[in-house]
Structure 1
Amino acid sequence: MKLYPSINPDLADWAVRQPVFFTASAPTHHPHINVSPKGLSAHFAVLSPKLVAYIDRTGSGCETIAHSYENGRLTLMFMSFGPAPRILRLFCKSRIVEWDHPDFDKWMKRVIPQDEAGGVSNRDSYDGARAVVIGEVWEVQTSCGYGVPMVRKELYAPATASEDGTLEKATQQQQQRDVIDTAGKETTMTTTTTTKRDELSVFEERPTLDYYWKKRVDNNTVNTYQVETNRTSIDGLPGLKAARRDAGETLWIADARAEVLRAARETRGVVLGVLVAVLVYFVTGVVGGLVVKAREGREHNWIWPN
């Protein structure tokens, strides 16, 4: 295991190429600890050695958003599925930019890759985006990853000759075929697979979210879904602010209530604070009494007759 203060270029390049990563967050006092997989392409970007961001699509829960609003703790984890093992964890202080925030479009453009013409690639794949989650990285951890299973190499790499000289699988062959060009001349073309493939090539994106949210956007029902599912976390913590506003909730009242409940659960801290206060009061009283007696004793000695 190694710890770093920031993300170096090698780790940044490796992280953005991974087909899946995981987010982990937790409330301060409630029991549920959330772990979520993320996998759609271009949803994650390393913006600087200490800043990352990803696009958060609307889902049936909003644990990460609620936890970010309460305490901002967030861990992102990436892992290798190939022969070179690696686990990467990014420990972050998170903040949320919701879809109705003035800076939302700016952050979306920073995360989404741009095509050569400067336009957004695969724009439909971001329908239903409810927020950009920004992570201010305060520590980076890498570890071996030997316990993570690998993708079988024969799924993506050409077969090699076995000991008896035969190919285990005919996955790479040179094929010669006659091609008649437009000039009527016969030529011979040799085709050989030269593209190097790795374990990442066996993954493909699941299109369900794109279809689902495109339909919701067309029907103008995204906000309705968010109001129904994204207002609070499983533990009842305040969730997506846009959904709460759409539901007619007064945000500052609900936030104040959540803060009071949070303070009430910090019983150990309250008890410890009371005990420390009592101890300080007692020690101060004892020391003060001794000081007063010492002063009275000195004054008495000064006026004692010879």
Structure 2
Amino acid sequence: MAKLFDRLDERWRRFIAEQPMYFVATAPDGPSGHVNVSPKGYRDTFAVLDDTTVAYLDLEGSGVETIAHLRQNGRVTIMFCSFTRSAKILRLYGRGRVAVPSDPDWHQLVAHFGPHHGVRTVIVVALDRIADSCGYSVPRMEEVAERDLLNTWSQRPDTRARRAVRSAGARASIDGLPALAPAETDPAHIHT
């Protein structure tokens, strides 16, 4: 049975820091539209800002579903699974916001993360529910290494050119929800 917690204490902060990946889930309003779940890697892209606020570095990759959904309704769930000896799942529920380079707290936020290219936004989540569960059915797996493919790909000249063109126009979700305005971010040139 899940237990609820009122804050991210040191135990949960250590648990989060030990996980090599996490999952982010969002959904648009209403009965139609696509629910989105995104796996996220790189341990240094997630930060606990305080006992009830977390943030993660949003790196340009594929779609903009999370951004579109957060801008529409703010609902988000982040899930950490332990794939090691301890069978544990931690879910962080809350209201998210999308921070872009023109926001006054941008530099303060990106200072929480390691060096990465292709930075698009920072997602900040105010938590309203923190819950664990057993994770008994989650398989034990061994981490071999982080993949540096996204960082490497982000620095290629063709990727940077494609990102510059893409960021110059409006971006929308697969359901047509607005996500990013033209030139709101510049992942071809922004890095931490």
TM-score, normalised on structure 1? 0.56
Amino acid at match of 1:52: V
**1:218–1:59: structure 2 CA closer, same or farther, 3 Å change rule?**
closer
Alignment CA distance shift 1:219-1:68 (3 Å): closer
2:26 maps to which residue?
Answer: 25
In 2, Cα distance between equivalents of 1:35 and 1:81 = 18
Provide, for residues 20-56 of structure 1, a one-character-per-residue CA deviation record: whole Å limited to 9, x for no partner.
1000000002320000000113000111110100000
Match of 2:135 in 1: 145
Task: Tell me the distance in 2 between the aligned counterparts of 1:56 and 1:9.
Answer: 25
Total equivalences in the alignment: 184
Give the secondary structure class of the aligned counterpart of 2:131.
strand
**Which one-letter code corresponds to 1:58 in the other structure?**
E
5 Å-filtered alignment, 1:45-84, equals 45-84=47-86
Distance in 2 (alpha carbons) for counterparts of 1:76 and 1:145:
15
Task: Check conservation: 2:83, 2:138, Cα contact below 8 A.
Answer: yes
Correspondence 1:277-292 to 2 at 5 A: none
Backbone CA RMSD of aligned residues: 2.2
Q: Structure 2: which 5+ residue stretches go unaligned?
A: 187-192
Q: Displacement, 1:220? A: 5.0
- Partners of 1:90 and 1:219 in 2: how far apart? 33
Name 1:235's counterpart in structure 2: 175
Bigger strand share: 2
Q: Give a deviation string over 1:238-278, Cα, whole Å, max 9, x none.
A: 111344799xxxxxxxxxxxxxxxxxxxxxxxxxxxxxxxx
> What's the % identity of the aligned pairs?
38
Q: Check whether the contact 1:127–1:217 (CA below 8 A) recurs between aligned residues.
A: no
Q: Distance in 2 between matches of 1:149 and 1:245?
A: 38
**Runs of at least 4 residues of structure 1 off by over 6 A?**
none
Equivalent residues in 2 for 1:93-242, closer than 5 Å: 93-109=95-111, 111-112=112-113, 121=114, 123=115, 126-151=116-141, 199=142, 202-216=143-157, 219-227=160-168, 231-242=171-182
Deviation of 1:103 (Å): 2.8
| Higher relative contact order (Cα pairs below 8 Å, separated by 6+ residues) | 2
Range with bigger deviation, 211-220 or 49-58: 211-220
Secondary structure of 2:171's aligned partner: coil
Q: Provide the residue aligned with 1:279 in structure 2.
A: none
Q: Secondary structure at the match of 1:140?
A: strand
Give the number of the structure whose residues are more often helix, by fraction: 1
Question: Counterparts of 1:81 and 1:6 in 2: how far apart (Å)?
Answer: 23
Distance across 1 between alignment mates of 2:172 and 2:19: 31
Distance 2:168 2:149 in 1: 21
User: Deviations 1:179-210 (Å, cap 9, x if unpaired)?
Assistant: xxxxxxxxxxxxxxxxxxxx5xx331112111
Distance 1:28 1:60, change over 3 A: same
Written as runs of structure 1 = structure 2, the 5 A alignment for 1:266-285 is none
Q: TM-score, normalised by structure 2?
A: 0.87
Distance 1:40 1:216, change over 3 A: farther
Contact 1:23 1:36 in 2 (8 A): yes
From the CA coordinates, give the structure whose radius of gyration is larger: 1
CA distance in 1, matches of 2:156, 2:107: 21
**C-alpha distance in 1, partners of 2:161/2:33?**
35
Secondary structure of 2:11's aligned partner: helix
> Which structure 1 segments of 5+ residues have no match?
113-120, 152-198, 247-306
For residues 218 and 88 of structure 1, do their structure 2 counterparts lie closer, same or farther at Cα, with a shift above 3 Å needed? closer
